[in-house]
Structure 1
Amino acid sequence: MHVFPFANKRNAVIGLVLTLACSFIGQALAGLPGLSLIGHLVLALILGMVIQFSQSVTKMARESTGFIANKFLRAGIILLGFMLNLVILMSAGLKSLEAAVFVVTIMITLNYVVARLLRVDHTLALLTACGDSICGAAAVMGISGAIKAKADQSVLAVAIVAILGTVFTLIIVFLQPFLGFSNAQFGVMAGLSLHEIAHAVAAGGSAGAVGTDSAIIAKLSRVLLLAPVALILGTFEAWRERRRSGDTNTKFKIPIPWFMGGFIIASAIGSYIPAVSLAVPVLVKAAYIILGMAMAALGLNVNFGVILREGVRPLTGAVFCSIVIMTLAWFIVRSWF
Structure 2
Amino acid sequence: MLLEQAERSFTGAAWVESLVLAILMGTILRTLWKPPAPFESGIHFSAHTLLEAAVALMGAAVSVEMVMKAGPILVLGIVGTVGIAIGTGILLGRAFGLPSKLAVLIACGNAICGNSAIAAVAAAIDADSDEAATAVAFTAVLGILVVLCLPLLAHTLHLTQTAGGVLAGLTVYAVPQVLAAAGPMGATAVQIGTLVKLVRVLMLGPVVAVSSLIYARQLPVCDAKPRSCLSRFLPPFIVIFMGLMTARSLDLVPHVLLAPLRTMSGLLTLVAMAALGLGVDLRNVLAAGPRVVAVVTLSLGVLGDVALLVAGMCCQG
Q: How does 1:271-286 map to 2 (within 5 A)?
A: 271-273=249-251, 276-286=254-264
Residues 105, 82 of structure 1: alpha-carbon distance in 2 compared, 3 angstrom cutoff: same
User: What percentage of aligned pairs have identical amino acids?
Assistant: 26
Structure 2: how far apart are the matches of 1:52 and 1:102? 40
> What is the distance in 1 between the residues matched to 2:179 and 2:63?
16
Q: Which runs of 5+ in 2 are unaligned?
A: none
Q: Cα offset for 1:248? A: 10
1:127-142 to structure 2, matched below 5 A, reads 127-142=105-120
**Which of the numbers 181, 197, 202 marks the counterpart of 2:175?**
197
Match of 2:59 in 1: 81
Residues 197, 302 of structure 1: alpha-carbon distance in 2 compared, 3 angstrom cutoff: farther
Shift of 1:34: 5.9
Whole-Å separation in 2 of the counterparts to 1:209 and 1:234: 39
Aligned twin of 1:3: none
* Superposition pairs of residues 153-172 of structure 1, within 5 angstroms: 153-172=131-150
The one-letter amino acid of 2:131's match is Q
1:231 corresponds to 2:204: no
Q: Please give the alpha-carbon distance, in whole angstroms, between the structure 2 residues aligned to 1:155 and 1:52.
A: 12
Query: What residue number does 1:323 align with?
Result: 301
Match of 1:240 in 2: 218
Q: Is the 8 A contact 2:74 2:310 kept in 1?
A: no
Q: Structure 1 pair 209/75, CA: closer, same or farther in 2 (3 Å)?
A: farther
Contact in 1 for aligned 2:31/2:280 (Cα 8 Å): no
Contact 1:48 1:299 in 2 (8 A): yes
Match of 1:93 among 71, 79, 96: 71
Tell me, yes or no, if the aligned pair for 2:119 and 2:132 is still in contact at 8 Å: yes
CA contact 1:52–1:58 (8 Å) conserved in 2: no
Give 5+ residue unaligned stretches, structure 1: 1-23
Which residue in 2 is equivalent to 1:15?
Answer: none
Count of residues in correspondence between the two structures: 310
CA offsets, 1:216-256, max 9 Å, x none? 221122211112112222222233344xxxx6999986711
Q: 2:2 aligns with which of 22, 25, 29?
A: 25
Q: Which residue of 2 aligns with 1:16?
A: none
Query: 95-104 or 34-43, which moves further after superposition?
Result: 34-43
- More off after superposition, 42-51 vs 116-125: 42-51
**Aligned-pair CA distance for 1:165:** 0.7
State the shift of 1:271 in Å.
Answer: 4.7
Residue type matched to 2:5 in 1?
A: A
More deviation, 27-36/167-176: 27-36
CA RMSD between the two structures: 2.7
Contact map agreement 2:138 2:293 (CA 8 A) in 1: yes
274 and 239 in structure 1: CA distance in 2 versus 1, 3 angstrom threshold: closer
Give the equivalent residue in structure 2 for 1:312.
290
Shift of 1:105: 0.9
CA contact (8 A) 2:4 2:14 kept: no
Q: Distance in 2 between matches of 1:236 and 1:110?
A: 17
Residue pair 1:51, 1:57 contacting (<8 A) in 2 also = no
Q: Hey, what's the Cα distance between the residues in 1 that align with 2:55 and 2:168?
A: 23
Q: State the shift of 1:120 in Å.
A: 1.0
Local SS of the residue matching 2:16? coil
Partner residue, 2:122: 144
Residues 37 and 202, structure 1, Cα contact 8 Å, conserved in 2:
no
2:218 partner SS:
helix
